[in-house]
Structure 1
C-alpha cells in the first residue's frame, strides 16, 4: 500500500531540489535564501509530470455557474496536456511560437497553458473583455502562430485569424476542436529542451503612453514565482486555493497556476458572475483553505451576513493590486478568524513584497520584500533614499522574477533600469518609502497609470477611443479617487464647436469607449472643460488634473 503522505513529500523534494523551501522567521529565511535556478526548466515536465506520479493528487476543481463540476488529478493534467501538445505540434506549432489563449475561467485555460509550455511555445493569456481591435493588435504585434478560445470569441477573432492555427473549446465550423486535438496521443510528441532563459509567457499591460506593452517572461520566472506560494500564501499539498483573478492577468498566472501547482495543492476555479453570497457559499462548500481576491470583492463580502458564515477550512486570505481599506480588513478578520495579507508586485516582476505568513504586519504597509528580493527607494537624481524618505521603489538586480524585456522594444526595456553605486536597479514606476525594519509603504504612481479594482488602465488607450468620437476635440484621462474601486477613470473632454455638453452625451461617450476598447476601461466620470493644461510646447499635463482630483496643492 502506498503511503500517500510520504510519496507527496518525496515528489515535493524532487520538484524543489534546486531551490529548497527554507523554514523559519523572516530574518532567518531572508538571510539564508538564495536563488538557485536550474539551467533547464520545463514547467510541464518538471512540475506537472512529477506530481502526476501520485495518481491520487488532485490538481483542479472547475465549477461553472450552474454548479457543474469537473475534477482533474495531476495525472489527468499531465496526460491531457501531452495529447494537446502533440496535437499542436502536428498543426505546426513549435518552440518559440506565440499562442494567444482567450478563455474564461474554465479548466481548458490551465490545460491550454500547460500544453503550450510543454512545447516551449510562448503563451499570451488574454481576458475575454478584449475587443476585436485589442485582439488584432496583440496578434499583429506578437506575430502569433495560434489562438485557443471559445465559440463566443470567434466573431471578434474572425477578421484577424485566417493565418493562425485556430482552436476552440466548442469548435465552430473551420476551427479545430480542443478536446479532439487533446486526444492526439500517438507517441510522436517531441518535447524540446527548455533553457531557463527561453521565453515562456507574455502579458500585455497598459502603459502611460502608446499601445499596451508585451511583457515577456522567461521559463526561469515560472520557476521563481513559487516563492510567493511559499511565503505569502504558505501553500502545501492538501491546500485548496481559490484566486478569483481574470485569466488574462499576471496575478491569475501566479495565483491560479504557476505558484500553487508548484506546491502540489489543489486549485479551485469558478466560472460565474460575481455574487458575494455565492463567493461565501463556495468557500464553505469546497473547503477553500486559501482565498485570494481583489480589494473590491472584500468590500462586498464584508457587507454580507458574515456572522453566519462558516468556513472551517479557511486559514488565510490574501489580496493585491489595490489597497484593502483597514476597516474592511478588521471586519473580515473578526468574522472569519483568519488573516488578510496584502502584497505588491508588477506585471514585469510579479510579487516582490508581501505581508508574509506568520510574520508581523504593520498598518498601511504592503509588507516586506519577499526572500530573494531587495527593495530600495531612489530619488529623482538616482541616489538611495534613507528610511522614511519617499522616492521611486526599485528592485535590485539580478532577479530571476524580472521579465526578459518589453517585446520588440529594447529602448523601453533599457530605460527601465538604472545603475546606482555600482548596482543595477529595476524602476517600478511606483512611489514609496521603507521604514527602518524594511516595511514598504505605497505613495502613488510616478506616471499616469490608473489602478481601478485591480485593473491597470493606461490613459492613452482611453483617450484614443474618445478621440474617435466625432464630437470630441481633445481630452485627457486621469485617475479619480473612489471609495469602492480605489481609483476610477475620469475624462476631461473639450468638445468641438457646435457640440453641446449633456448627460446624454456623457452616456454616449461612455458607450463609445466600451465599444472601441475593453469595456472595463470606460470613463466612469466625464467632465466637460474649455481647455486642458499643457506645457509651452503643447504637452498634456495630466499630473495637474490628477492632483486636482486628489485634492493636492
Structure 2
C-alpha cells in the first residue's frame, strides 16, 4: 500500500461463498511451497522445532481424522487449551478442516472456568495437556479427549491418536456465514460471552495482514500473544499463514533479554507485542543484538503510550504501529507504514471498514468530541453474534442516519485529520496487560470468602500493565482489614479463577456507592481510583 486514501477508495470485499482456512490456505501453501517454513518453535531452554507448510497440512489432517473417528462432527465445538507449542496451531487447523468450531482457551483458566465453557458451548471435544486434564472434571460427556504429553484415565495420548489417523482429509466447505471459531471474552456483567465468528471472518482477517503487517512469504513474524486471545489467531495463524509467511512461536518465561535474543536469532522481520512488554523492552540496551532484519513492530490489545512509541523508534530505528481491535471485530483501526504516525492514536480504519464516533443521542459526534466508537455494518470481520444470546447481539447494533452500525462498547474521538484516539471503555471491563477481565467474575469469587459482605471491582491505572484489578471490599461485622487478609483474599481468588484476574490492589471500605435502586456505582469508584492515582483529590 503506497497510499492509504487510494487503498480505501479501491478496496472491495471479495468474500467467497464458501471458505475453509485449513483447505484454502494451509493445503494451498503445502501444494505451492511444501518445503517453506510455516513455523519455528522454540522455548527458554534452547529447544527448537521447525515445521513446513507440508508438515502442518499433514498433521492437521490427522487431527481432523482423529476427532472425526471419535464422533466429533461439523459444527461441534472443541475446546483447545494448549500453551505455546506447535500442537496448538495443528489442533486449530485440524478443527477448522473438519468444520468443528475450535474454542481457544488460555492455560490459566481454572476448573470452574472450564466447567462454564463446557456447559455453555456444549462442546463435544477437548485438546489440552496432561497437566490440565484435572480442570476438565465436568467433561464426562466429551466424545474426544486428547492430551498432549500422555493420556490418563479417559484421556487419550495426543501423539498416539494422531499416529493411528490418516494423512489424507478433504476439508469441509463452510458457507461464509457458517460458524467457524469461537472465543470467550469478559463483559462487565455476568459470565464471559461466547463470541462466534463465521468462516467469512477468518477469510477477512487477512486484510489487516496485508495493510497493517504488510506480510509476504519472505517475512518472519513473531507475535507474543497468549493462545486463548483472538489476537493470537489473527497474528500467529490466520494473518501470517494467509500470506505464506513464517511464524516464530516462543514458549517460556518473559525475559527482555530473551525477547531480544529471539528477535536476533530468527531474523524476525515483523514483531507484535503488548504494550506491557514494550514498556519493559525500551529500558534495555539493544547494542549487543542484531536487529537489522526487523522492519516493523506492532501492538494491540491495550493502548501504547506515546512516549513508548517514540522510545522504541529511538532504540531500534523501527516504527511501532499501534492498532485497535476487539474479539468481536478483530483489527479494524490501525496505523499503516505509509501513514504518518500520531503517537497515541489508534490510526485510521482498515480499508473496507468504516468507523465513526456517535454521541449519546445517536448522532455523529463533532471533531475531537469523545463518544461511542462504532463500526459500519455489514462487515465480514465482525462476529456472527454472541453465542446463545440473541438479545445481547441485537443490543450491539444501532441505526444511525439510516445505516446499521456495530457498537464496540469503547469510547473514542476523531481529530480533524481523521485519526482515531481511544478514550476508554464505555462499560466496566478491565484491560490488564492485554487481558480483558469482567468485574463480576472477580466479585463473584470474592463474595465466596467468609469475611466478605460486599465488594466492587474496578480498573486501577498501572504504569506497566495499563490497568490492574482493584477491589473495594466491605467486610462482615466483626472483621477488620489487614495485610494478612489482603493476601488471603488474593490467594482465594487465584485458587478459584484465573490467576491473572486476582485483585492486585484491595481497599477495605465501610460502604459502597449505590444508585437509588441499590446497584453499585462502579463508574464512581473507577473515576475515584483514576483521580487518586493521578494525585487528584
TM-score by length of 1: 0.94
**SS in structure 1 of the partner of residue 119 of structure 2:** helix
1:111 corresponding residue in structure 2: 90
1:20-31 alignment to 2 at 5 Å?
Answer: 23-31=1-9
Q: Deviation of residue 186 (structure 1)?
A: 4.2
Secondary structure of 2:161's match? helix
SS of residue paired to 1:362 = coil
Do structure 1's residue 204 and structure 2's residue 184 form an aligned pair? yes
* CA apart distance, 1:156: 1.4
Residue among 322, 332, 335 paired with 1:342: 322
**Pick from 26, 30, 33: which aligns with 1:52?**
30
Measured after TM superposition, the shift of residue 182 of structure 1 is 2.3
TM-score for both structures, normalised by structure 2: 0.97
CA shift for structure 1 position 547:
0.8
Whole-angstrom CA distance in 2 between matches of 1:185 and 1:449: 43
For residues 498-509 of structure 1, what are the structure 2 equivalents within 5 Å?
498-509=478-489
Q: Distance in 2 between matches of 1:181 and 1:536?
A: 59
Of 388, 391, 406, the residue aligned with 1:426 is 406
2:386 aligned residue (366, 387, 406)? 406
Q: Which moved more, 1:386-395 or 1:185-194?
A: 185-194
Q: 1:494 to 1:524 in 2, by over 3 A?
A: same
Name the residue aligned to 2:529. 549
Task: For residue 82 of structure 1, report the CA deviation from its aligned partner.
Answer: 1.0
Taking structure 1 as reference, are residues 317 and 128 closer, same or farther at Cα in structure 2, changes over 3 Å only? same
Q: After superposition, where does 1:369-518 map in structure 2 within 5 Å?
A: 369-518=349-498
Write the distance in 2 (CA, Å) between the matches of 1:400 and 1:504.
Answer: 51
Cα distance in structure 1, aligned partners of 2:166 and 2:93? 19
Q: Where does residue 193 of structure 2 map in the other structure?
A: 213
Distance 1:187 1:456 in 2: 38
1:501-540 superposed matches below 5 A: 501-540=481-520
SS at match of 2:449: coil
User: Closer, same or farther in 2 for the Cα pair 1:321/1:492, shift >3 Å?
Assistant: same
State the 1:307 CA deviation.
3.0
The question of 1:284 aligning with 2:261 is answered no
Q: Which residue of 1 aligns with 2:76?
A: 97
Deviations 1:405-454 (A, max 9, x none): 00000000000011111100000111111122221011111111111111
Residue 390 of structure 1: how far off its partner (Å): 1.2
Aligned to 1:33: 11
For residues 164 and 343 of structure 1, the distance between their equivalents in structure 2, rounded to whole angstroms, comes to 39
The whole-number CA distance in structure 2 between the counterparts of 1:270 and 1:208 is 32
Q: Give per-residue Cα distances to partners, 1:482-507, cap 9 Å, x unaligned.
A: 11111111000000001111010000
1:47-446 matched pairs, under 5 angstroms: 47-53=25-31, 54-173=33-152, 174-186=154-166, 189=169, 191-446=171-426
Instruction: Assess if the C-alpha contact under 8 Å between 2:62 and 2:168 holds in 1.
Output: no
Distance 1:363 1:92 in 2: 51
Cα distance per residue 1:465-489 (max 9 Å; x no partner): 1000000000000111111111111
- In structure 1, what is the Cα distance between the partners aligned to 2:90 and 2:167? 19
Shift, 1:311, TM fit: 1.1
Pair 186,123 (structure 1): closer, same or farther in 2 beyond 3 Å: closer
Partner Cα separation in structure 2 for residue 171 and residue 212 of structure 1: 30
Superposed displacement of residue 162, structure 1: 4.9
Distance 2:159 2:167 in 1: 17
Q: Where in structure 2 are there 5+ consecutive unaligned residues?
A: none
Structure 1 residue 188 displacement after superposition? 7.3
Q: Partner of 1:19 in structure 2?
A: none
Q: Distance in 2 between matches of 1:292 and 1:239?
A: 13
Give the distance between the partners of 2:134 and 2:162, measured in 1 at CA: 24
Alignment match, 1:42: 20
Structure 1: distance between partners of 2:19 and 2:163: 25
Deviation at 1:103, TM superposition (A): 0.1
Residues 192-251 of structure 1: CA distance to partner in whole angstroms, max 9, x if unpaired?
321111101100000000000000000001100001111111111111100000000000
RMSD over aligned Cα, in angstroms?
1.3
Deviates more, 1:385-394 or 1:422-431: 385-394
Q: CA deviation at 1:252?
A: 0.4
Write the distance in 2 (CA, Å) between the matches of 1:186 and 1:219. 25
Aligned equivalents of 2:448, 2:39: Cα separation in 1: 44
In the aligned structure 2, how far is the partner of 1:536 from the partner of 1:306? 56
Q: Deviations for 1:277-317, whole angstroms, at most 9, x for unmatched residues?
A: 10100100111111111111011111222233321111111
Residues 448, 478 of structure 1: 8 Å contact kept: yes
- SS of match in other structure, 2:331: strand
> C-alpha distance in 2, partners of 1:397/1:120?
26
Q: Is the 8 A contact 1:307 1:335 kept in 2?
A: no
